[in-house]
Amino acid sequence: MTQVQTNGHLATNGVHDTNGVKPEPSLEERTPEFGFEVVQGFFVQNGPKPKHVEFEETLQKSFGLVDQSPERWTNLKASLKKLQDEAPEGAQYKVLFLGRHGQGWHNFGNAKYGDDWDHKWALLTGDDEITWGPDPPLTPLGIQQAQSIYAAWSREVKQGAPVGAGQMKWLVSPLVRTNQTLEASWGELVEGKPEAWEDLREIYGYHTNDLRYTKTDLQKRFPNVDFSSITEDDELWTPEPRETYEHAGLRGQRAMDRLFSEGGPSETFISVTAHAAFYRSLLKVLNHQEYELETGEMIPVVVKATKLSKSKL
């Protein structure tokens, strides 16, 4: 068992500060640019009678599309175009495919130690058998989960799924497990360079598995991903306290503002590969009902974003 030191901070078995980290001034003080609502009726996970779709069912039923006809993807693209064409001033639509990374060694460790994980083992980098920090890779099961997603997308592309240049943009958290998942889930289907966004990373602090590697290390390991917008070192992670869900929600708002802003991706369909705890906060930002994702699972969300006027702020 080892402890991790970074930027002069040592991860120890200290008491978890439940008040969490105070929001960075830049996040706490910034004004949201967009408001969000979920467009129901396209995917069963979104409602109007929301349903949790298990992993295998997700793969078998076009990731939850209500329309199961051979023209399902053509119909979805036509519906989104109609929504865009008829959108009121200041409104726009995107479809987000929010995928959680496959099983990582920290997930394995969590299952192994149960209730002792959060306040003991997660503060260490491993035990006598496995290593889970910092920033652990996928387990063999995690790789299999991602490969199953790839097989499903490969099948759906033949039915007209919106994958390819000008249709889909790929975004990813700058952690090893998410980038491995992106690679194995999409393979050669990716066109262009996926972008790593710091705001998409997991809730950070306290747990060693959420301490990321340097930009240089990540660029060497994943040369096909654009890491240009992240800092060289992890300037966010500290051994205490752990980021709160509320603060992660501020990051989620900023990420969505960036996505829907004039300088953001022009594509309507967006693949995001990130993390369970972060998604809890992000779905709240999007005004989506709670939806827990197991490792490897994905939830599509059709989002209407409306530019907020000063009078609404």
Q: In this structure, are residues 289 and 49 in contact, taking their beta carbons and an 8 Å threshold?
A: no
Q: Could you say which of 156, 183, 195, 202 is catalytic?
A: 202
Sign, CA torsion 41/270/136/201: negative
- Is residue 101 flagged as an active site residue? yes
The residue count of the chain comes to 313
The pairing of beta strand 269-274 with beta strand 91-100: parallel
- Is residue 247 flagged as an active site residue? no
Residue 86, class by beta-carbon neighbours within 10 Å (0-12 exposed, 13-18 middle, 19+ buried)?
A: exposed
**Other Cβ atoms closer than 10 A to 220:** 10
Q: Could you say which of 101, 106, 275, 288 is catalytic?
A: 101
Q: DSSP labels for 93-139?
A: EEEEEEEEP--BHHHHHHHHHGGGTTTTGGGSSB-SS-B--SS--B-
In 3-state terms the chain splits into helix, strand, coil percentages (rounded to 5) of 40, 15, 45
Q: Which two tokens stand for residue 203?
A: 């809730």
For residues 81 and 264, what is the distance between their CA atoms, to the nearest angstrom? 18
Supply angle C-alpha 101, 104, 106, rounded to 5.
125
φ/ψ of residue 301, rounded to 5: -135, 120
Return the beta strands (E) in 188-297 as ranges.
195-196, 269-274
Closest CA to 302 of 59, 102, 60, 64: 64
In whole angstroms, how large is the CA radius of gyration of the chain? 19
Residues labelled catalytic = 101, 202
